[in-house]
Chains A and B, each alone.
Chain A
């Protein structure tokens, strides 16, 4: 898929590739993603998982997220929502919605970005000074929506 040459690749090819990457565990193993429903033909709804980085208040926790592509994929960023409760800048405390304007990758979306990029960016932000020491809710809590 020659995305980098500027040729517009059909969306599904890219999404499929992402799916494959998610299943093969590309990367350092600290993020994981896959389709929310394996039967989903639309490849729109995905689940992601971030392992809290060490030496932060998020460490040893597994955060579950929902990523949903919009109709403008890949030009528009997906909507990302945390399922596991988390206290972090840019994430709505009551709903878990990630505020696209506060996450750099989502704010300055490029169509070469992928779910992996989003998850890794969120994990990187967990390690930032402003986030790493935020007190976290007890483990295992999820948002109700």
Chain B
């Protein structure tokens, strides 16, 4: 066989210890051999004593390559050289080449193209859920609260703090760990539509005062925000979790590439300290932790240095998700963030706040939110904190200043869409309602656990009533709106638990309704009575009521020549009694 011939075959270039010893035996002192150390980037020649150990060899290498010895991995002839081995042991002789791989501290480094990630990136990944090594996309999802045992679960995690922003951040972290919820929220059409509106997103970002500061310091960011293409792309990316992961990865790689540029590492560090931190803090303050703010900011700076990469504004979705989720009164929370956006008073924002209300209402219908509501009511302190949160106040103010906004918000809730009559009733109530919300008495009432419980009972009674007395449906729909709901529209029609729900006659229901809230605090009672009366008046006949209300308008329309009474009525209902708008509607449908 070939082996036999080999033993006497031609001299091998380097053989094992047998051959080496043969030549080494003739030498008394160690010979210096030249060994080439090769990385994909570079190649260096080292003169080392023949009998040195791998450890010593590494020390020499670490000086030349400016790395630490424990970062070095030496490979020769397909084997990794361990520190305690000797060069001779592996047959490393003069003129041979050893491969070198330099690892980073956090992630083992490969070749030249992948230098170690900057500390900034590491901080980013530490602050992001990616440190959990889960391919979760950015958004945190309020829904997860219900499935996670709600607030009770969170309190067991140490959420004893009354700081609402802490609550938010904790919730967000919880939700980050729940990919299904994230997927759900991402798939929610509302979220998608919101994400697809770059203007709104920009407003949201700009509304954050810290972000504004950041923008002042870094005009690049404002450029990025104002660039619709980038925003759009980012939002698209944000909507697609898979793409998001891809972008994250590209971003990390881009950062790594950055580092390989001479001085790049320093640039990365600067980038981190200048941009990532403030943005992260800004986002955290407002929204209880925005893990991807830093990612976004790092990419935005990376944008400057690597124009080929599109900016990844991952933080954008996040500011939305926590507020709707983390607050029991999701209506207020979403409208809070939208309220700050609507402070810029763009119709876009309004439209989106409306959509926000929709979304919020749909949130409430989930059992998760219901349990959350219950838990929130049990925790009065939380509610108080929540209500006193600064953005709540701003939302309230903006809502009260802009009753139309609030009206639209309420009216476009899916709960209302089936009941235009209810919309009508709600409209006039809204200003009073808003004032109520700002009334500190209301706030204290909301933080009164018994009051909240009573309201919850009302809500439940309302539901019962709805099932047993379909005629009272308009009074039912406001129920699930949420904690605001209980104090508001849900208040009056509730308390069916007290009276027999079978009686469809509103007149008998009205007194019982008015009597039940007497146990509540004063301001609530007043408000509730108002609501009751309004609803009682509306309840008796569903259809005639709009006719009655719009009697005058109908006559006017008739006089103008719109003879189709039904169409007129529908138009009036749709426009809330606004004749001009109704006419436009009618004209829109009738080409004449």
Chain A interfacial positions (CB closer than 8 Å to B): 10-13, 16, 19-20, 22-25, 28-30, 32-36, 38-39, 41-43, 46-49, 51-55, 59-62, 64-65, 139
Contacts and interface: CB of A to CB of B under 8 A. Distances in A.
A50 to B, nearest CB: 9
B3 A61 contact: no
B114 A54 contact: yes
A60 B135 CA distance: 19
A22 B78 contact: yes
Given A16-B10, A60-B114, A33 B39 contact: no
B18 A29 contact: no
A38 B15 CA distance: 7
A23 B110 contact: no
A51 B79 CA distance: 12
Interface stretch (B92-100, B230-238, B297-305): B92-100
Contacts of B113: 54-55
Interface stretch (B101-109, B277-285, B324-332): B101-109
Interface core residue of A12, A19, A54 (most chain B CB under 10 Å): A54
B13 A19 contact: yes
Given A10-B2, A23-B76, A29 B13 contact: no
B566 interface: no
A42 B3 contact: yes
Which are the 9 A-B pairs with shortest beta-carbon distances? A34-B77, A25-B97, A38-B16, A47-B78, A54-B113, A60-B110, A20-B13, A33-B78, A34-B78
B108 A34 contact: no
B363 to A, nearest CB: 33
B6 A43 contact: yes
B7 interface: yes
Interface in B87-130: 90-92, 95-99, 101, 103-104, 107-111, 113-114
Contacts of A42: 2-3, 6
A62 B16 CA distance: 24
Nearest to B113: A54
Contacts of B95: 24
B36 interface: yes
Given A34-B78, A38-B15, A53 B3 contact: no
Contacts of B14: 19-20, 23
Contacts of B9: 12-13, 16
5 contacts: A12-B5, A23-B77, A24-B96, A29-B38, A47-B77
Contacts of A25: 36, 38, 96-99
Contacts, number: 120
A99 B97 CA distance: 31
B544 interface: no
Given A38-B17, A47-B78, A64-B80, 18 more contacts: A12-B5, A19-B14, A19-B77, A22-B77, A23-B77, A33-B78, A35-B77, A38-B90, A41-B3, A41-B6, A42-B6, A49-B78, A51-B99, A60-B114, A62-B75, A62-B80, A65-B78, A139-B108
B177 interface: no
B318 to A, nearest CB: 25
B6 A32 contact: no
Interface centre among A22, A25, A35 (most CB of B within 10 A): A25
A71 to B, nearest CB: 9
Contacts of B40: 28-30, 51
B111 A23 contact: no
A42 B16 CA distance: 13
B97 A60 contact: no
A73 to B, nearest CB: 9
B44 to A, nearest CB: 12
Contact of A41 (B7, B101, B108): B7
Nearest to B77: A34
B48 interface: no
Nearest to B103: A60
Contact of A23 (B10, B13, B107): B13
Interface string B498-532: 00000000000000000000000000000000000
Interface string B128-170: 0000000000000000000000000000000000000000000
A50 B228 CA distance: 44
B12 A55 contact: no
A54 B110 contact: yes
B253 interface: yes
Interface string B3-31: 10111011011111110000000000000
Contacts of B5: 10, 12
